[in-house]
Structure 1
């Protein structure tokens, strides 16, 4: 399928770039992705939100968060009002990794979007959002049926 094959090319390029950061700091791709997710989405800082938004498995997220915590890169903070609500915050030790990751994300965006006009970039975002919304709707309906 054309879209899926092309998607894999884009993903492979991103993982090539981010893999350099992972190697430098001794991280798995999932650990790196979680750090960058927390940095880019500070308001969505629970394991459940990471699982839901990134479409990752609970076990992979849980394992990676434990490793990140052991490395001193994140901290879990339990809510005083709700013992089940645990927020994950980036620690100062993660700053260099996040900075390197941000540079990777900028380089990635510049490369894959090079040669596109502002209008073409906006059109890509609108179309990609529609594709993702269609997939989300199907997943939601499928989940409701099962």
Structure 2
């Protein structure tokens, strides 16, 4: 399924410009399916933000049966307390920028879709997962604003 009216801008989406969250979830499902049978070669991460609060972003990645979640500002990041990866994992933005996701950011893919739906609905940090600092440096290696707004 293609989504001609729904394409990432600068590697992400402003969620309040998307009226139907199912279109966004379908887009992420299709992006995940396009990875084929080799998600070990890396996933794709999208930066989700709200026009009312550009300081906070939800990074949502897809990679087969797993996906990645990070709640971030340009200085600090948080990952789900139940994250299952011990090391950094290869992810790339929609424009192929290497954007590895931190330890403990990966969760089952259905959790990613549920958290994206919640962020779309509330425009605030999702509460369906508990957020904690990652076990390594909590500094964002590349400014998310640089990725979103060049």
Q: TM (normalized to structure 2)?
A: 0.25
- Write 1 or 2 for the structure with the bigger share of helix: 1
